[in-house]
Structure 1
Amino acid sequence: MTTKLSQVFRTLFLCCILVTFTINAQTKTPEKKVNGSVPSEVLPITPDVKIGKLSNGLTYYIQNNGKPEDKVELRLALKAGSIVETEDQVGLAHFMEHMNFNGTKHFKKNELVDYLQSIGVEFGADLNAYTGFDQTVYILPIPSDDPEKLDKGFQILQDWAGNALLTDQDIDDERGVVIEEYRTRLGAATRMQSKYLDKIAYKSKYADRLPIGTKENLETFDYESVRNFQKDWYRPNLMAVIAVGDLDVETLEKKIKENFSGLKNPENPKPREEYGSENHEGTFVAIEWDEEATSSQVQIYYKDKGKPKKTKTVSDYRDNMVEGLFDQMINNRLAEYSNKPNPPFIFGFSYKGGIIGNKDAYQSFAQTNETGQLDALKTLLEENERVKRYGFKSSELERAKKDYLSRLERAYKNKGKEESNRIVNSYIQNFLQESPIPGIEWSYNFAKSEFPNIKLEEVNALISQFLHDDNRLVILTGPKKEGLKKVTEQEVIDLLDSVKKSDIKDYEDEAVREELMPIKPAKGSIANKELVNEGKINETTILTLSNGAKIVYKKTDFKNDEILFEAYSYGGTSLYSDDVLKETASANRGLFEAGIDGLTKNDMTKLMSGKIARVSPFIGSLSEGLRGSASPKDLETMFQMIHLYFTKLDKDPEAFASYISKQKAFLGNILSNPNISFSIALGKFSNEGNPRYTGLPTEEDLDKANYDLAYEKYKERFANAGDFNFYFVGNVDADKIAEYAETYIASLPGNSEREMYKVTSFRPKSGAHEFIYRKGTEPKSQVNLLYRGEAKYDAKEARAMNALGEILSIKLIEKLREEEGGVYGAGARGSIRKIPYGSFNFSISFPCAPENAEKLSDAAIAELKKIIKDGPTEVDLEKVKKALLLTRKDQLEQNSFWLSTIKNADYNQSDIDNVLNYEANVNALTTKDVHNVAKKYLSGGFIKAVLLPEE
């Protein structure tokens, strides 16, 4: 259960922003243009969904979707969040969300979670909810192949719609849990945000209604305040039920009518007011710093003066596409800066989108080093100004169109293969924000027909609408530390003025070659072809190539437009000497900042326009390899990239210097975060005496990184393609796989020599130890309890250890959260591994108040000791089994699962047929099995690691 803030606080750009409005399927052909312009007809709605409204005002969306099988995704969406709270209800929209899991008409306290766990629905992972400023959404996946479970699912949704019991005791019991969730959010980002939020949401109620609320009100609010919130806002005319899954529409509609037609609205309902944010003259500047801030950021908001425009018509939709092309082009330019020597920022992006306070804004963002805020701000401003003065180039627009259309094409080709949990979100947003749902077929066809009519001039014209000197906001945040000069407001104002007057040159769009590999290599050959496990679900084809390389592929129909890839060879840095490891550890990732075959990363971006293919090499501790994915139409491009990473990775000192600069900026103040600092310190403590431990690099480590040596070792690790196994899973064409394997992999240098990783004699610290670490000023702690040691690998014990972790997680939630009210979340995880040596690991972790760390640690260990003494209950083991089997049922229809399974069978030297026996093996697990591993491995000492605030 979470609170959800506006995208204004997200720091990562959504790479799929261009296709925000193209999620579902649609069969209607786009309307033809009239007199050269797009008509303002109403945007169509995908025929895949049935939308209805009950007499009480409740809206419903239903779609039959068979992926995954035998599951329905249910959602209850409410047009009420923290913005409608009165002064005595601050934080209670979110608190009310919690109460719906703690006693309702049909499920008394804890019965709801207990029931859902008994049918395999996991609390948190599956069952969840979130609260935002303007909405509350409840999430429930439910099996659709069992009428009784389906009925229960709709009964749960009905209870959430207004049947929480809200007893005094239940409310008081939950106060501690919500306060612990509040505690997890404390830190530098929250402290800084509180000082500038009123500038984003200027003169707006939004600035005072963060969904998490205040600690003071959560501790003291009257019972009637939360009951009044439910009475006022949990009403059918503000609700929607969304049901998407493997069940016919008629049955789902019947269930909705049966369960929700009886809901009634209040006789005198409160009006659902809209709350806006006022415009302001000039530019607001907020400059905040904090001792615990981990990074330096720059944000610019050019806030619209009117209300956000709804996408209602075909013309509106076309406007969105034009904005999407603008976003693509500006971000292509900003990405180029990140790849330059001494880059002005680690990354930067711009886009037009919503912020809190019912406002849209053109937004530019960058993350930089602690002394580079003004340089980053200048770069963002100059690039916006450059576009305003000169516009984009026609070549930039053509590349943007290719990229935009290729993403739409991929979604269109995967029509009918999309998982239900992805589809439901588009209907939630349609209900809450009136976001369009024309469907992917309509969207794709419209884009194909309309793109030729979108001219450069209309895209270029947008920047003049976006940029203005008033209703503008600049926010700078970063670390406060000795010797670091804080940027002043006057410096920001002066920079804003100077950029407008500065001499800015036009952008030069340097041309790149059209083909990735103009000259193809001389082909090798396929020495042997073998079909393995023919007719079984784990059927694969193995090609042995003339150079010794092995190709394994599996054709699936899970996605029409997806092929996943991975390759490995044993060895990795385990074959490096201690000295070589230390010299190259901080350099290895920087190798791939260089391009391939004379093409820089920026060149590659241009060349790959319209193509969907990626390959990423890696050098790990035990192996080296590559990972990637491609659309079937671009499979040859992916094979070419594989070949070039083996043979023609460029050596580019300037690109490496750029990488080191960005790493220093990223890592510069990261240790100021208490949790990160604690994790790193714990890693050092556990690896005390390990001559090969590198940990998080320091600035000194980065300065010493030996690029030349790392490059030579890379060439050594990738010199023998015959020592590699290559795996491909997805919509593969057997003939093309064979052709490309011969051309691009069999042609690589290779021989019959095989390497194996080396196992170091060092073992991490185990047994009874205590590690207390003090960092931070907020009253928050983190507790980690760690059991580990060597063990002979046994598959049955490994399954039991994993189940033990899941069982203990259930008990920790019951004890530490529900009974003690001392944590928001807690969990345990157990494993027994075969690689690189037999070992077991078991961990318990949770955040809490510092004063409760000792008590809750003791309580957690006491729960584990109960299992060690008596074993788990049959009921808890059955819950875990159900969850494991439901998860596996979904996994069997995922390319990523099969890629991992097939590759790991070789990597871990295990039997691929184990996948066939999974259900039988899980069902065969007994409480005795779990009891035995608990006694065998967890009866000894453990590392107790606790983060506490500074004294």
Structure 2
Amino acid sequence: MKKIVFILFFAIFITACDSQKKVVETNSTVEKAVNETKVSEKIPIDNKVKIGKLPNGLTYYIQNNGKPANKVELRLAINAGSILEDDDQLGVAHFMEHMNFNGTKNFKKNELVDYLQSIGVKFGADLNAYTSFDQTVYILPIPSDDDEKLEKGFDILEDWAGGALLEEKDIDEERGVVLEEYRSRRGADSRMMEQYLPKMMYGSKYADRLPIGTEESIRNFSYESIRRFQEDWYRPDLMAVIAVGDVDVAKLEAKIIAHFGKIPASENPREREVFSMKNHKETFVAIEADKEAPFSQVQLMYKDYTDSEPTKTVAKYRKNVVESLFAQMLNNRLDELRNAENPPFIYGFSYHGGTYAKNRDAYQSVAGTSSDGQLKALKTLLAESERVKRFGFKKGELERAKKSVLARVEKSFKDSDKKESGRIVGAYINNFLQESPIPGEEWTFNFNKEMLPTITLDEVNMVINDFIHDDNRVVIITGPEKNVTEQEVLDALKAVKVMELKPYEDTEVAASLMTSEPTMGKIVAMTENKELDTKTFTLNNGATVTYKKTDFKNDEILFTAFSFGGTSLYSDEELMATSFANGALTEAGINGYSISDMTKMMSGKIASARPYIGSLSEGFNGSASPKDLEELFQLVHLYFTSLNKDEKAFNSSINKDKSFLGNLLASPSFYFQKEISDFMNADNPRYTGFPSPEKYDAADYDLAYKKYQERFADAGDFKFYFVGNIDERKLAEFSMKYIGSLPSTNSKEMYKIDDFRPMKGSHTKIVKKGKDPKSTVRIMYQGEAEYDKEEALAFESLGEIVGIKLTEKLREQEGGVYSSRTSGRISKMPYGSYNFSISFPCAPENVDKLKDIAIAEVADMVKNGPSDEDLMKTKKAQILDHNENIKRNRYWLNTIKNIDYMKDDASETASFEERVNSLTKKDIQMVAKKYLTDGFILGILNPED
């Protein structure tokens, strides 16, 4: 279900004469722009997609796309969801989704998941589905390297379209799984939502058709009711098949016709109603509190009076862009306020867009606040919208917003031929379900390039007049306690009309981050690794730059850097004093520029670089468009040499962190994390613990800043890495100029290894928190280990195999969990260690039974090892993942960095598939025996008595 956020702007009355004059002038400008851009034209459809419709009414979308190779993304989109449920069917739309994985015409119960795992498709991570109010979508990525797999994929899709058997035994067995999903979603947020939803969605069916349904309905709906839902709504005229991948279009079309053309059209189809909301004269105010709410929010919604029309014409598209520019400029202002010394909110943003209702939009805003800061946040949002209403935006703001929009669409256009199939299918789903336009990246870029200059400041300033009104609005305030009254909210809405305000001051910013030219350094050595296809050059100050030029993306360069040391070189006292200050250091900006200045200066540029100080190292992470690579280098240079020291900026960051913490530990899940972490680190002298307002208040800014300067004093101790569409000449030039010019002290530091070792052996920690009847179980095996790369691969595979078995036993056989997580990892830094973890939520009464099943599964791996079938499933999935990963820049960035950071073997990537295929059952059993027989740490979260 999509997450909805809400925006509020309030307006005052402007004198009729001035307002009328402004409207006339603006309308004249708009009319001229409209004519110039031929906005009456329809938006074209991207010629890369083939769209068709079968005689029975089913729609299909097909596109050949070779990234990734040997894979096709299949989707079945159904224009039906929980909003169509009858009163005896609450939750049935979502339940139908579950039943399509539990017995169909071609796959008996559990056979579907079992088959897909056998060809490397992971349940949950790859194979999945979702149900919302108005739609249901099934997700199936399938290997396309042979016809049998492709044919099976279409068999599955065909079964989903109407082949669910819905046998009574299977329905009853699945009730437990769905109840556990329902249980996992229960909490403060769901309880408060149930209270405010009738006001938010006033007069609509959406207020009582949450897709998950009710506990009573899940337990008791009749077999007939779910079969009736399938018959009414799983029909071809409400369906679309989307197929995008490395398969010929004609072949995919033939598959769709063969599998779906034979489905008969519904003879007397039930009307597929489209539901909306009632307008209301009142301003509805919902103030909801729950003691377990970890966060506080203010949400505002000005609902449109009429249902929205789909964006089919250039005129509507242009209007959407104007609204986007408006929202971006307002959000930039809100972001500046967020960075003030005493910020009115933790975050705040706005947009005009969809609500839960399929065809009703609203102007919406949300702000995250401290538990007692909701009224202040509300008044700030109102004041800023009022400021726009009275005085409008400034020319500089609009130009920066235009640059940002154009940069984004240009990047998308440049990478359009490199887009992975999984990122393409969503647009076609939305076109079918919501009639969203699909003109393609080239048209979008060219149109924006031509159209953006025609959008005037007056035109954007007028947008607020369409959004703000005194009726049909809702204010929703949520948090751990009620610190605001309805009357205070209504008073704030009235008071803003007479509030004294000044126009926004748009300060001038410099054209460049740099205020002086650094002294050019030199490249003193160059090496090449032909196995990895990388090059490394050493600069005069000792810094090294390693890079790999790729063609995976046209408009992407990824970056990272590190130097060993980090906070491991801090004394215990220094660590405690700076731990909760380090994250706030960069909020001061660089080279005399504030964060807000930097945001303005970087408008239209796609480049970022962010320093960090970790436990073992300090360094950078970032990325850039090739055309903006120099800005990335400038950021790195200035974070080394010119980090600002600004008490107000530091305080702003600390205040936001404290507000965010607020009531965090009232949440059972966060409290459980803290208690388990405290328990396992009870004897650790360098354990900084869970954050708290008191720890933030005690943070030593001066010391943190000093230590930052120490950590970044020696650039010669750093290694820099770049992967992507690199111009080698420019990379060398920028490296010499911005890195070679950095200071070097020849420190050659290494991190220190602390004497403390995490808890191991058999221990139990039971935590009681929360009023919902739900528990969480964590089982952890951990200790020291001598690192071996083959054991590490076997141990990771063991985690995957146990995960498969627990899905079968805890979910499918017992119906006791919705999902479980299992992982195994052997690490080499800072010392050799292993960790094997199992976790799952469940009903309190099932804790002991399910815990024992999980532990018994581990014991069975120790005694017998895995089955041939389960080992084969894991191998297939690992190899498929690897073959996709090696075509991604992120994979290679991590790989070439870890050869230096983790001392990894450069040959591991090339030999990965061979190493996986050589794994035996004996290898898996051996690591299970070696690491999972010395006891485990058991953590259990139970509700309060």
Q: Contact (CA 8 Å) 2:88, 2:221: kept in 1 or not?
A: yes
Q: Please report how far the alpha carbon of residue 501 of structure 1 lies from its aligned counterpart in structure 2 after TM superposition.
A: 1.2
Q: Which amino acid aligns with 1:147?
A: D
Give the aligned partner of residue 658 of structure 1: 652
Structure 2: how far apart are the matches of 1:206 and 1:904? 50
Q: Which amino acid aligns with 2:496?
A: V
Q: Please report how far the alpha carbon of residue 919 of structure 1 lies from its aligned counterpart in structure 2 after TM superposition.
A: 0.7
Q: Please report how far the alpha carbon of residue 697 of structure 1 lies from its aligned counterpart in structure 2 after TM superposition.
A: 1.7
Q: Which amino acid aligns with 1:755?
A: E
Give the aligned partner of residue 216 of structure 2: 216
Equivalent residues in 2 for 1:254-293 (5 A)? 254-293=254-293
Q: Which amino acid aligns with 1:158?
A: E
Identity, in percent, stands at 61
Give the aligned partner of residue 420 of structure 2: 419
Q: State the Cα deviation string for residues 619-671 of structure 1 (Å, max 9, x = none).
A: 00000000000000000010010000000000011000001100110011100
Give the aligned partner of residue 138 of structure 1: 138
Structure 2: how far apart are the matches of 1:915 and 1:337? 47
Equivalent residues in 2 for 1:726-745 (5 A)? 726-745=720-739
Give the TM-score normalised by structure 1: 0.96
Q: Does 1:892 align with 2:886?
A: yes
Structure 1: how far apart are the matches of 2:535 and 2:629? 18
Matched residue pairs, number?
921
Q: Please report how far the alpha carbon of residue 8 of structure 1 lies from its aligned counterpart in structure 2 after TM superposition.
A: 4.0
Give the aligned partner of residue 844 of structure 1: 838
Q: Contact (CA 8 Å) 2:713, 2:745: kept in 1 or not?
A: no
Q: Please report how far the alpha carbon of residue 200 of structure 1 lies from its aligned counterpart in structure 2 after TM superposition.
A: 1.3
Q: Contact (CA 8 Å) 2:6, 2:350: kept in 1 or not?
A: no
Q: State the Cα deviation string for residues 513-541 of structure 1 (Å, max 9, x = none).
A: 111113210011001011112xx4x2100
Q: State the Cα deviation string for residues 468-525 of structure 1 (Å, max 9, x = none).
A: 0100100110112xxxx62100000011100111111110101111111132100110
Q: Contact (CA 8 Å) 1:6, 1:355: kept in 2 or not?
A: no
Structure 2: how far apart are the matches of 1:739 and 1:939? 56
Q: Does 1:198 align with 2:198?
A: yes
Q: Contact (CA 8 Å) 1:584, 1:705: kept in 2 or not?
A: yes
Structure 2: how far apart are the matches of 1:940 and 1:852? 25
Structure 2: how far apart are the matches of 1:397 and 1:33? 16
Give the aligned partner of residue 795 of structure 2: 801
Structure 2: how far apart are the matches of 1:37 and 1:596? 41
Structure 2: how far apart are the matches of 1:158 and 1:911? 46
Equivalent residues in 2 for 1:59-98 (5 A)? 59-98=59-98
Q: Contact (CA 8 Å) 1:8, 1:356: kept in 2 or not?
A: no
Q: Please report how far the alpha carbon of residue 308 of structure 1 lies from its aligned counterpart in structure 2 after TM superposition.
A: 1.2
Q: Please report how far the alpha carbon of residue 9 of structure 1 lies from its aligned counterpart in structure 2 after TM superposition.
A: 8.4
Equivalent residues in 2 for 1:117-266 (5 A)? 117-266=117-266
Give the aligned partner of residue 18 of structure 1: none
| 1:367 counterpart SS class | strand
Q: Please report how far the alpha carbon of residue 296 of structure 1 lies from its aligned counterpart in structure 2 after TM superposition.
A: 1.0
Q: Which amino acid aligns with 2:303?
A: K
Give the aligned partner of residue 57 of structure 2: 57
Q: Contact (CA 8 Å) 1:287, 1:487: kept in 2 or not?
A: yes
> Cα–Cα, structure 1 residues 344 and 399, in superposed 2: closer, same or farther, change >3 Å?
same
Q: Which amino acid aligns with 1:455?
A: T
Q: Does 1:378 align with 2:379?
A: yes
Equivalent residues in 2 for 1:32-43 (5 A)? 35-36=35-36, 38-43=38-43
Q: Which amino acid aligns with 1:391?
A: G
Structure 1: how far apart are the matches of 2:831 and 2:35? 73
Give the aligned partner of residue 879 of structure 1: 873
Q: Please report how far the alpha carbon of residue 918 of structure 1 lies from its aligned counterpart in structure 2 after TM superposition.
A: 0.5
Q: Please report how far the alpha carbon of residue 751 of structure 1 lies from its aligned counterpart in structure 2 after TM superposition.
A: 3.9
Structure 2: how far apart are the matches of 1:688 and 1:945? 15
Q: State the Cα deviation string for residues 416-475 of structure 1 (Å, max 9, x = none).
A: 000100000000000000001111111111111111111111111010110001001001
Structure 1: how far apart are the matches of 2:345 and 2:201? 27
Q: Does 1:707 align with 2:720?
A: no
| 1:241 counterpart SS class | strand
Give the aligned partner of residue 581 of structure 1: 575
Q: Contact (CA 8 Å) 2:7, 2:299: kept in 1 or not?
A: no
Structure 2: how far apart are the matches of 1:251 and 1:925? 36
Q: Does 1:478 align with 2:462?
A: no
Q: Contact (CA 8 Å) 2:302, 2:473: kept in 1 or not?
A: yes
| 1:60 counterpart SS class | strand
When the two chains are superposed, the root-mean-square deviation of aligned CA atoms in Å is 1.2
Q: Which amino acid aligns with 1:229?
A: F
Q: Contact (CA 8 Å) 1:688, 1:765: kept in 2 or not?
A: no
Q: Contact (CA 8 Å) 2:279, 2:305: kept in 1 or not?
A: yes
Structure 2: how far apart are the matches of 1:10 and 1:279? 17
| 1:915 counterpart SS class | coil
Structure 2: how far apart are the matches of 1:225 and 1:927? 46
Give the aligned partner of residue 520 of structure 1: 517
Q: Please report how far the alpha carbon of residue 35 of structure 1 lies from its aligned counterpart in structure 2 after TM superposition.
A: 4.3
Q: Contact (CA 8 Å) 1:776, 1:949: kept in 2 or not?
A: yes
Q: Contact (CA 8 Å) 1:200, 1:356: kept in 2 or not?
A: no
Give the aligned partner of residue 109 of structure 1: 109
Gapped runs of 5+ residues in structure 1?
12-31
Q: Contact (CA 8 Å) 2:7, 2:351: kept in 1 or not?
A: no
Structure 1: how far apart are the matches of 2:566 and 2:37? 59
Give the aligned partner of residue 389 of structure 2: 388
Q: Which amino acid aligns with 1:103?
A: G
Q: Does 1:604 align with 2:612?
A: no
Q: Which amino acid aligns with 1:531?
A: E
Structure 2: how far apart are the matches of 1:5 and 1:265? 31
| 2:514 counterpart SS class | coil
Structure 2: how far apart are the matches of 1:113 and 1:463? 51
Structure 1: how far apart are the matches of 2:34 and 2:159? 51
| 1:782 counterpart SS class | strand
Q: Contact (CA 8 Å) 2:7, 2:302: kept in 1 or not?
A: no
Q: State the Cα deviation string for residues 103-147 of structure 1 (Å, max 9, x = none).
A: 000000000000000000000000000000000000000111110
Structure 2: how far apart are the matches of 1:862 and 1:39? 67
| 2:713 counterpart SS class | coil
Q: Which amino acid aligns with 1:47?
A: N
Q: Which amino acid aligns with 2:515?
A: P
Give the aligned partner of residue 296 of structure 1: 296
The one of 708, 715, 721 aligned to 1:721 = 715
Structure 2: how far apart are the matches of 1:429 and 1:407? 20
Q: Does 1:592 align with 2:586?
A: yes
Q: Which amino acid aligns with 2:460?
A: V
| 2:413 counterpart SS class | helix
Structure 1: how far apart are the matches of 2:489 and 2:378? 8
Structure 1: how far apart are the matches of 2:383 and 2:352? 18
Structure 1: how far apart are the matches of 2:261 and 2:373? 59
Q: Which amino acid aligns with 2:905?
A: D
Structure 2: how far apart are the matches of 1:874 and 1:912? 30
Q: Please report how far the alpha carbon of residue 6 of structure 1 lies from its aligned counterpart in structure 2 after TM superposition.
A: 4.8
| 1:89 counterpart SS class | coil
Q: Please report how far the alpha carbon of residue 752 of structure 1 lies from its aligned counterpart in structure 2 after TM superposition.
A: 3.2
Give the aligned partner of residue 624 of structure 1: 618
> Cα–Cα, structure 1 residues 577 and 272, in superposed 2: closer, same or farther, change >3 Å?
same
Q: Which moved more, 1:260-269 or 1:542-551?
A: 260-269
Q: Contact (CA 8 Å) 1:808, 1:827: kept in 2 or not?
A: no
| 2:288 counterpart SS class | strand
Q: Which amino acid aligns with 1:491?
A: E
Structure 2: how far apart are the matches of 1:753 and 1:493? 62
Q: Which moved more, 1:118-127 or 1:447-456?
A: 447-456
Q: Does 1:509 align with 2:509?
A: no
Give the aligned partner of residue 407 of structure 2: 406
> Cα–Cα, structure 1 residues 233 and 35, in superposed 2: closer, same or farther, change >3 Å?
closer
Q: Which amino acid aligns with 2:98?
A: H
> Cα–Cα, structure 1 residues 35 and 111, in superposed 2: closer, same or farther, change >3 Å?
closer
Give the aligned partner of residue 752 of structure 1: 746
Q: Which amino acid aligns with 2:286?
A: A
Structure 1: how far apart are the matches of 2:328 and 2:685? 46
| 2:88 counterpart SS class | helix
Q: Please report how far the alpha carbon of residue 327 of structure 1 lies from its aligned counterpart in structure 2 after TM superposition.
A: 1.2
Structure 2: how far apart are the matches of 1:612 and 1:439? 21
Q: Please report how far the alpha carbon of residue 587 of structure 1 lies from its aligned counterpart in structure 2 after TM superposition.
A: 0.3
Q: State the Cα deviation string for residues 886-932 of structure 1 (Å, max 9, x = none).
A: 00011011000000011011101122121111011111111100000
Structure 2: how far apart are the matches of 1:947 and 1:768? 17
Q: Contact (CA 8 Å) 1:5, 1:133: kept in 2 or not?
A: no
Structure 2: how far apart are the matches of 1:746 and 1:627? 19
> Cα–Cα, structure 1 residues 699 and 8, in superposed 2: closer, same or farther, change >3 Å?
closer
